[in-house]
Amino acid sequence: MSLIKYFLWLIFPKRCACCNRVIERYQNVCEECSTKLEKNKKICVKCGSDKRYCICKFRTYHFKGCVGPFDKNDETMQVIHHFKDDDNCDVAEFLAEEMMPTINEYYSDVKFDGVCAVPSHWTKKFYKGYNHSELLANKIAYSMNLNYYNNLYKKRKTQIQHKLKPQERYENVKDAYGCKPLYGCKNILLIDDIKTTGATLDECSRQIMFAGAENVYCATSILNNSKSCNVQRKHI
């Protein structure tokens, strides 16, 4: 660690991505939180659900797969809260690091041609200064030595997805996104922070395929694999 970095660390100590308490500089989360962050175990790569609640029989998506390291619980959602609402961009480093082994494990036989991120509306990005999914996607693209394509864009504002019923989520995002042509890209890795019903990822995948890509594979930091979420999805 350089002297400047050391002094910066003294002034701005590193904080746990989950509970925000001060941690050692080599850590991303404190020891207590690291045991509470629930990891996904057996997921169906195709629909991104816990294998016990796989919904492939009930729904098909435009994307080929969806994977992610964490399940949704209070602690993992606290990390997302620090990332999105508290503007703690250091959390992106932690989430991207956690996503990488999952991507490498499940998509080991896929040769990606580039990375895209689920976009926010330009007004939101303008006021916030960044798009959180883009931060994750940039870090992942850099680690995988792939191009990041800023081709996806949001055409209109949408309602907040988690406040809507499953069917409403699909209607909410329908034709809300667009994608500039992706020349020579067969396989695209699409990044977002969290997957619940998969409606946003599905719509973005559809647009990416319109733009010329053959296959879209998704990766998010959290997969909401709660049984209730998947039971609801069966009725879509």
54 or 236: whose CB is closer to Zn ion? 54
SS3 content of the chain, % helix, strand, coil (to 5): 40, 15, 40
44 or 115: whose CB is closer to Zn ion? 44
65 or 69: whose CB is closer to Zn ion? 65
Q: How far is the CB of 196 from Zn ion (least distance, A)?
A: 15
How far from chain centre, in Å, is Cα 52?
Answer: 22
Q: Specify burial of residue 236 (Cβ count, 10 A radius: 0-12, 13-18, 19+).
A: middle
28 or 120: whose CB is closer to Zn ion? 28
Residue position matching structure tokens 């909410």: 172
Within 10 angstroms of residue 42's Cβ, the number of other Cβ atoms is 9
18 or 117: whose CB is closer to Zn ion? 18
Residue position matching structure tokens 């959290």: 222
Three-class SS state of 232: helix
The helix (H) or strand (E) run that includes residue 94 is: helix 90-106
Helices (H) and strands (E) in the chain, counts: 9, 9
**Which residues are near Zn ion by CB under 5 A?**
16, 18-19, 30, 33, 44, 46-47, 54, 56
Q: How far is the CB of 17 from Zn ion (least distance, A)?
A: 8
Q: How far is the CB of 124 from Zn ion (least distance, A)?
A: 29
Q: How far is the CB of 221 from Zn ion (least distance, A)?
A: 16
